[in-house]
Amino acid sequence: MKNMKLIVALFVAGVLSVANSYAGNEDRAGEAGASQLLINPWVRSAGFGGANTASAIGLEAMNLNVAGLAYTNKTELMFTHKNWLSGSETKINSFGLTQKLGEAGVLGISIMSMNFGDIDITTVDLPEGGVGTFSPSYLNFDIGYAKSFSDRISGGIVLRIVSESISNVTSRGVAFNAGVKYVTGENDRIKFGIALNNVGPTMKASGEGLTFTNTDINTNVSSTQERRTSAYQLPSLLNIGASYDFYLAATKDSSSNQIKADHRLTLAGNFTANSFTNDQYRLGLEYGFRNMFMLRAGYIIESTTWFDSAKRTTAYTGPSFGGSFVAPLGKGGATFGIHYAYEMTERFNGTHSIGVRLDL
């Protein structure tokens, strides 16, 4: 137990030291690439405003704090569709699977794919197009592992493979997420989480689209040359969160000696230290009825801009809303859930997310 606490303490100290070197640096705003890593592909946490770093469990936790992955019961399957920034014609599809391994370990795999539709090819001679279309392809592939070290502490790590491509230019890279979670209080009502996400080497574009043919006007000799490209860094960030469960009406299970809440309120807060944009404060509130029906809301505040949405560095204005309906499947504890979330934006018509989850 002492060694485990020492490992956790060293991890937290390392996370804070790394984050202190990069977070909140306004001079570096807009310099990172692979910004799709900042998009939350899942539904429940999107409706929560991403404030549930400490309370997220299962597959949803891989994007916030992978330590919550360790709370998967057995097997979880999830599919999500996002109409991202409605009116931009951008669609996001995500699929994930988690599987419990042994008594304490959980393996998770997820894929997020962005579809931008067909875009007209333009050239210097044909600026209006008319010579065909192309479709960019953005893909994130995550594989994570989390483990419960005790009934209070869990930790995990995620390997992220990032791919960006058009027909003749590609860019690929890798990133890592790592996090720890601590649960305490009566009936585990109090939760704390800390995670460092999107840490990895720089990425760089390459491909035939960066080459061109040049003809020397003096010798009339043609040669193929390649344009130089600059490497870009990943949008690393630090999440520090806490949550508390309020039981408004509860009964005690005599067989398990556990408290079962008929009505629950979860209050969550999170601080996000971004390396390439404004830091963010996230607040979330969720109401749950017997783990069958949930309503949630969240709000994101950007530092330096606060409640002035016109000065935000993202398209989102702050508020988000969502709900879930979960139905039991038989007596084995399996459930099937339908989830929806809406995130308000300054431009376009917001982001709509809908997803289904099968918990076996």
pLDDT one-digit tens code per residue, 252-271:
665 556 667 789 999 999 99
Pairwise CA distance, residues 173 & 201, whole Å: 7
Pairwise pLDDT comparison (20 vs 360), residue with the higher score: 360
Pairwise CA distance, residues 55 & 276, whole Å: 26
- DSSP one-letter code for 131: S
pLDDT of residue 133: 87
pLDDT of residue 299: 95
> Which pLDDT tens digit goes with each residue over 142-152?
999 999 999 99
Contact between 56 and 42 (Cβ < 8 Å): no
Q: Which residues contact 142 (CB under 8 A, 6 or more apart)?
A: 62, 108, 109, 110, 111, 112, 158, 159, 160, 161, 177
pLDDT of residue 160: 97
Average pLDDT over residues 220-247: 88
Residue 295 is which amino acid?
L
> Which pLDDT tens digit goes with each residue over 70-97?
999 999 999 999 999 999 889 999 999 9
Any idea which residue has 């390392």 for tokens?
14
pLDDT of residue 256: 57
Backbone angles phi, psi at 324, to 5 degrees: -140, 145
Could you tell me what percent of the chain has a pLDDT over 70?
89
Radius of gyration of the chain (CA): 23
pLDDT of residue 179: 94
Helix or strand or coil: residue 266? Answer: strand
pLDDT of residue 349: 92
Statement: 2-359 belongs to CATH 2.40.160: yes
pLDDT band at 10 (very low <50, low <70, confident <90, very high): very low
Average pLDDT over residues 334-340: 96
Average pLDDT over residues 34-45: 94
pLDDT band at 11 (very low <50, low <70, confident <90, very high): low
Pairwise CA distance, residues 287 & 300, whole Å: 19
Residue 329 is which amino acid?
L
User: Number of helices (H) and strands (E), helices first, in the chain?
Assistant: 2, 18
Q: Quick one: which of 93, 55, 61, 54 has its CA closest to 76?
A: 61
Pairwise pLDDT comparison (14 vs 331), residue with the higher score: 331
Quote the pTM value: 0.87
Pairwise CA distance, residues 240 & 123, whole Å: 47
Q: What is the dihedral of CA 42, 194, 68, 53, to 10 degrees?
A: -40
Backbone angles phi, psi at 62, to 5 degrees: -60, -30
Average pLDDT over residues 281-287: 96
Q: Which residues contact 14 (CB under 8 A, 6 or more apart)?
A: none
Contact between 4 and 149 (Cβ < 8 Å): yes
pLDDT of residue 159: 97
Q: Quick one: which of 179, 198, 140 has its CA closest to 55?
A: 179
Domain boundaries, the chain: 2-359
- DSSP one-letter code for 168: S
User: Residue 158: which H helix or E strand, with range?
Assistant: strand 153-165
How many CA atoms within 13 Å lie on the side-chain side of 330? 5
Q: In whole numbers, what is the pLDDT of the chain averaged over residues?
A: 87
pLDDT of residue 25: 56
User: Residue 144: which H helix or E strand, with range?
Assistant: strand 137-148
pLDDT band at 2 (very low <50, low <70, confident <90, very high): low
